[in-house]
Every structure is written in structure tokens, then in C-alpha cells.
């Protein structure tokens, strides 16, 4: 492929010197497709025929432009960039170049604020301009070094009622917290700590934000006690309630709830009747 590639670093040849910079192209005799490298960025001693590694994007007037600066994000990558400005059609991100990177409103996920760091990838819009998107799934890698049982950290970049929470582990690798493992703990745009449950055949990670059972049971029991305290010591349902009721009221699965209730019963901190659970240790 002999064309100049937008959004990528590439080695180009100096084909013409002018007062305000040099023009670069893929081939020495190329005249139709060339890009300007401004004078202030031209390496000292540069001459026609020299090769220079540059990044290609569009300037504030949508003209193709080259730079020797290192952008914080390249095509096909994922990076965390700071929001420097908001307006009604989108946001502008600092990616290390003179012209800020535009993040259209339609490419945002959740509410964002100035000064916030958002996880994004690059794409070329219908006007052949580089823009940012928070839909980073396609650019996350599936070759992580992690194994089941490993603790990881990542950014929740999408929530799905069907699948769960999609996580960019280390802002680099593709992970998923299945819906059954969430229970309201994962928030869009927030970082989470999780445990690798399974590495799928394609290399993507299945995660859980719940601790292993014996630790989780203690945490769930404490949660139930706090819930009891907030309800004057009585919950108007017991462990025989429908799973949907338990999940809505406690954020736990029915099995998770029953394990914690069993622990509290054994410790004589609660009692259960046909319609409720009462705290007995206050």
C-alpha cells in the first residue's frame, strides 16, 4: 500500500523543500499525494531525498499535516486521554498535538466532564477526519499474560443488560464481567479490581468482582446487617423470597444471600420467620 495513512506513524521521503517546511511523500517522484511537515518541525540538515518518520493527521483547517511529535494515541490503539473542553456537539481531548482530538457526542459513553480522563480509540469519520470514540472493543487485545485466579484492574467502558460489564484490563486487554458476577458493583467509566475466572479460547478474559466464596460470604453478611440496621432491624422478606426480589433489595443472587443468611443464623445474629428476617444481636 503506497498511500499516506491517516492516524499512523510512517516513514516518508522529503520530495520538496519550501520556505514554510518540506513536503513528504511515499515515493521520491510522487506529486499527487504529499503532506507538509512545517518548518519548525523539520530536522536540522534535512534535504530532499531524506527519510523522516512522522505522524499524519489534519490541522485546524482540515488540511493533511505531518508532525514529528509523538501523539498519545495511534490508529488501532486504546489510550486514556484528558477532556480539555466540552461543547454541545462533543468534547475535545489532549492527545499531545497542537490540535485537540474531537470526541463526538454520539461516540461518548456515559456523562463526561472537563478534566476527566476517558478511554478512547481513533477512527476516521465520513469527512475523512480523525476523531475519538469510546467504543474501544475492537482495539482491545486478547493476548494478556493473565491466568485464572490472577487479580487485575481495568476500566468499565460499556454496560450491557444482556452480557454484563465490558472491561479494558490495564486499558489494553479485553475482559468481561458477566451479568451474574456484577450485582451493581460495576459503574460505567469507573476502574474496578477483579479476579480472572476464565481465559476464553480467543484469549479474552472472563472476570469476577466478587471475592472467593469464603471471603465473599463474610462481606455479604456484613452487608445484610447494615441493611437490617437501615430498616430498623427487620427485612420484610426472607431467604425463600423470589430471586428477583432478593437481587433488587440486596444486590445479591439468591444463593449468595442464602449463604450469608446461614452464616448469620449460625452466629445467632438474626432470626427468620415466615415473612421476614430480624436482627437479634443489637
What is the per-residue pLDDT across 222-275, written as a single tens digit (0 to 9) for each?
A: 999 999 999 989 999 999 999 999 999 998 888 889 989 998 988 889 999 988
pLDDT tens, 57-70? 998 888 889 999 99
Q: Is 37 exposed, middle or buried (0-12, 13-18, 19+ CB in 10 A)?
A: buried
Whether 212 shows a pLDDT value over 70: the answer reads: no
Whether 156 shows a pLDDT value over 50: the answer reads: yes
Q: What is the pLDDT of residue 199?
A: 95
Question: CA of 261: how far to CAs of 124, 180, 248, 266, 273, in Å?
Answer: 54, 19, 16, 9, 13
pTM of the model: 0.71
Least confident of 2-11, 84-93, 212-221, 231-240: 212-221
Whether 96 shows a pLDDT value over 90: the answer reads: yes
Residue 112's contacts (CB-CB under 8 Å, 6 or more residues apart) are 83, 86, 91, 118, 189
Whether 98 shows a pLDDT value over 60: the answer reads: yes
Q: What is the grid cell recorded at 88?
A: 454541545
Q: What is the pLDDT of residue 177?
A: 94
Q: Are 264 and 257 in contact (CB under 8 A)?
A: no
Mean pLDDT across 111-137: 94
**What's the rounded Cα separation, in Å, for the pair 53 and 139?**
23
Whether 210 shows a pLDDT value over 80: the answer reads: no
Mean pLDDT across 34-39: 93
The 3-state DSSP class for residue 236 equals coil
Computed over every residue of the chain, the mean pLDDT equals 90
At 198, is the pLDDT very low, low, confident or very high (cuts 50, 70, 90)? very high
Domains and CATH numbers, the chain: 9-67 (2.40.50.140), 79-137 (2.40.50.140), 141-208 (2.40.50.140), 213-279 (1.10.10.10)
Q: What is the pLDDT of residue 7?
A: 93
Q: Helices H, strands E: what count in the chain?
A: 3, 18
Q: What is the pLDDT of residue 1?
A: 46
**Residue 37 or residue 31, greater confidence:** 37
| Partners of residue 68 on adjacent β-strands | none
At 217, is the pLDDT very low, low, confident or very high (cuts 50, 70, 90)? confident
Whether 38 shows a pLDDT value over 90: the answer reads: yes
Q: What percent of the chain has pLDDT over 90?
A: 65
Q: What is the grid cell recorded at 160?
A: 450491557
Amino acid at each position: 500500500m503506497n498511500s499516506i495513512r491517516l492516524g499512523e506513524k510512517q516513514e516518508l521521503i522529503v520530495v520538496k523543500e519550501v520556505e514554510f517546511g518540506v513536503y513528504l511523500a511515499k515515493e521520491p517522484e510522487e506529486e499527487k499525494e504529499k503532506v507538509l511537515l512545517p518548518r519548525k518541525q523539520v530536522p536540522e540538515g534535512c534535504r530532499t531525498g531524506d527519510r523522516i518518520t512522522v505522524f499524519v493527521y489534519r490541522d485546524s483547517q482540515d488540511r493533511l499535516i505531518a508532525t514529528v511529535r509523538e501523539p498519545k494515541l495511534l490508529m488501532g490503539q486504546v489510550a486514556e486521554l484528558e477532556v480539555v473542553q466540552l461543547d454541545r456537539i462533543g468534547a475535545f481531548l489532549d492527545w499531545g498535538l497542537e490540535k485537540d482530538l474531537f470526541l463526538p457526542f454520539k461516540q461518548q459513553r456515559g456523562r463526561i466532564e472537563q478534566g476527566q480522563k476517558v478511554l478512547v480509540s481513533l477512527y476516521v469519520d465520513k469527512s475523512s477526519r480523525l476523531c475519538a470514540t469510546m467504543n474501544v472493543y475492537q482495539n482491545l487485545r486478547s493476548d494478556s499474560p493473565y491466568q485464572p485466579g490472577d487479580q487485575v484492574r481495568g476500566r468499565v467502558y460499556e454496560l450491557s443488560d444482556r452480557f454484563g460489564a465490558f472491561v479494558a484490563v490495564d486499558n489494553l486487554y479485553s475482559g468481561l464481567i458477566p451479568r451474574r458476577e456484577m450485582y451493581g458493583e460495576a459503574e460505567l467509566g469507573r476502574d474496578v479490581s477483579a479476579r480472572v475466572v476464565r481465559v476464553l479460547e480467543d484469549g479474552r478474559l472472563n472476570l469476577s468482582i466478587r471475592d472467593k466464596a469464603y471471603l465473599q460470604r463474610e462481606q455479604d453478611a456484613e452487608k445484610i446487617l447494615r441493611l437490617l440496621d437501615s430498616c430498623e432491624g427487620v427485612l420484610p422478606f426472607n431467604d425463600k423470597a423470589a430471586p428477583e426480589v432478593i437481587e433488587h433489595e440486596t444486590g445479591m443472587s439468591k444463593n449468595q444471600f442464602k449463604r450469608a443468611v446461614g452464616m448469620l443464623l449460625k452466629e445467632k445474629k438474626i432470626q427468620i420467620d415466615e415473612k421476614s428476617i430480624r436482627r437479634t444481636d443489637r
